[in-house]
């Protein structure tokens, strides 16, 4: 695998993961579908709505950090050394 292929790989990983992150944020911010997700998960793991919102916010934040560390930074590094 050469640098050009790795560059394209990390570019598309970053684009797709950022798109999923934006979609997740928009779903949470608008409230669209969140009630459905809460009803399903509260059957498996009983928890108050405030706890669910906190956990959801935390997971989106951790996902964002993972995107930056494992997708965006390697892509920027490859662009710089290319």
Q: pLDDT at residue 48 above 90? A: yes
Q: In the chain, what percentage of residues exceed pLDDT 70?
A: 100
What pTM did the predictor assign?
0.87
Compute the distance between CA of residue 61 and CA of residue 17 in angstroms, rounded to an integer. Answer: 13
| Whole-number pLDDT of residue 73 | 97
Q: For residue range 6-39, what is the model confidence (pLDDT) as tens digits?
A: 999 999 999 999 999 999 999 888 888 888 889 9
| Whole-number pLDDT of residue 31 | 86
Dmax over Cα atoms in the chain, in whole Å?
A: 51
Q: pLDDT at residue 82 above 90? A: no
At a CB cut-off of 8 Å and minimum separation 6, what does 75 contact? 7, 10, 11, 13, 14
């Amino acid at each position: 695998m050469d640098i050009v292929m790795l560059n394209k790989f990390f570019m598309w990983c970053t684009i797709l993961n950022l798109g999923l992150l934006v979609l997740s944020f928009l779903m949470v911010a608008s409230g669209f579908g969140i009630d459905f997700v809460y009803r399903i998960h509260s059957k498996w793991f009983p928890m108050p709505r405030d706890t669910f919102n906190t956990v959801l916010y935390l997971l989106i934040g951790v996902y964002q950090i993972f995107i930056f560390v494992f997708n965006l930074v390697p892509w920027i590094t490859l662009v710089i050394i290319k």
